[in-house]
Amino acid sequence: MAKHSSSVHVVNPPGEADKFRVWSRSGDPLQSKVRIVCTTCNNTWLSAIQNAAKPLLIPMFAGQTCVLGVPAQTMIATWAAMATMTAEHMSKEPSLIAVSQADREWLWKNGTPPPDWRIWIGRFQRHKLPERWTHCSVSIHEREPVIAANGMPQCNTQTTTFMVGDLLVHTMSAAFPDHAQDWDWRTWPRGRQVLTQIWPTVESATVWPIQSVSLMDADAYHIARAFFGWADAVGRAATTGLVIRP
pLDDT digit string, tens, across residues 165-195: 999 999 999 999 999 999 999 999 999 989 9
Q: Could you tell me if residue 245 is inside a domain? A: no
60-113 tens-digit pLDDT:
999 999 999 999 999 999 999 999 999 888 777 888 899 999 999 999 999 999
DSSP classification of residue 185: -
What number of other Cβ atoms are within 10 A of residue 236's Cβ? 14
Q: Could you tell me if residue 108 is inside a domain? A: yes
pTM above 0.75, yes or no: yes
User: Has residue 26 got a pLDDT over 50?
Assistant: no
pLDDT computed for residue 139 by the predictor: 86
Q: Could you tell me if residue 123 is inside a domain? A: yes
User: Has residue 115 got a pLDDT over 90?
Assistant: yes
200 or 96, which is more confident? 200
Kindly tell me the sign of the dihedral angle through the C-alpha atoms of 190, 164, 117, 149: negative
- Residues spanned by the domain of 29: 3-238
Q: Could you tell me if residue 74 is inside a domain? A: yes
Count of domains in the chain?
A: 1
Q: Could you tell me if residue 10 is inside a domain? A: yes
Q: Could you tell me if residue 167 is inside a domain? A: yes
Q: What is the mean pLDDT of the chain?
A: 83
Helix (H) or strand (E) holding 66: strand 66-69
d(CA 93, CA 106): 24
User: Has residue 23 got a pLDDT over 60?
Assistant: no
Q: Could you tell me if residue 35 is inside a domain? A: yes
Q: Could you tell me if residue 246 is inside a domain? A: no
Q: Which residues pair with 116 in a beta bridge?
A: none
Which residues lie below 8 Å from residue 235, measured CB to CB, with a gap of 6+? 11, 13, 14
